[in-house]
């Protein structure tokens, strides 16, 4: 089955740029979306189709996907961005939904 790998944790200073990666075999051939999950809350979609932001998601969130790695980038990271981030892809050959293990973003 298809697997996505994320780093368990990423730290960034407030105001700096945070990059959260998601790796998988030929991931660039698939579309990736990202969810933000704050403690005690349900996840929220923050990026879809690699680099599209849903309505209401700040412009400081951006995404890319190439080769074996997708990246969620947060520019000018704010304290309120501290959360777990989960990547998700869709295996076209099996129609399976696949999640990465999640990355805890700490804003210092």
Segment interacting with another protein, rule: CB under 8 A, options 18-26, 39-47, 56-64, 73-81: 39-47
For position 43 contacting another protein by CB under 8 A, the verdict is yes
If the CB atoms of residues 54 and 76 are measured against another protein, the closer one turns out to be 54
Segment interacting with another protein, rule: CB under 8 A, options 16-24, 38-46, 56-64, 68-76: 38-46
For position 90 contacting another protein by CB under 8 A, the verdict is yes
* C-alpha span between 38 and 7 (Å, rounded): 17
* C-alpha span between 81 and 70 (Å, rounded): 19
CB of 89 to another protein, least distance (A): 7
For position 1 contacting another protein by CB under 8 A, the verdict is yes
If the CB atoms of residues 28 and 101 are measured against another protein, the closer one turns out to be 101
For position 31 contacting another protein by CB under 8 A, the verdict is yes
């Amino acid at each position: 089955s298809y697997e996505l790998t994320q780093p368990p944790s990423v730290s960034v200073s407030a105001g700096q740029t945070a990059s959260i990666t998601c790796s998988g075999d030929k991931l660039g051939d698939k579309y990736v979306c990202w969810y933000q999950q704050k403690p005690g809350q349900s996840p929220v979609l923050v990026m879809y189709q690699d680099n599209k932001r849903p309505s209401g998601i700040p412009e400081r969130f951006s995404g890319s996907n190439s080769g074996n790695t997708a990246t969620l980038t947060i520019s000018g990271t704010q304290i309120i961005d501290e959360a777990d981030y989960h990547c998700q892809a869709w295996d076209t050959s099996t129609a399976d939904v696949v999640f990465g293990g999640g990355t805890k973003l700490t804003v210092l």
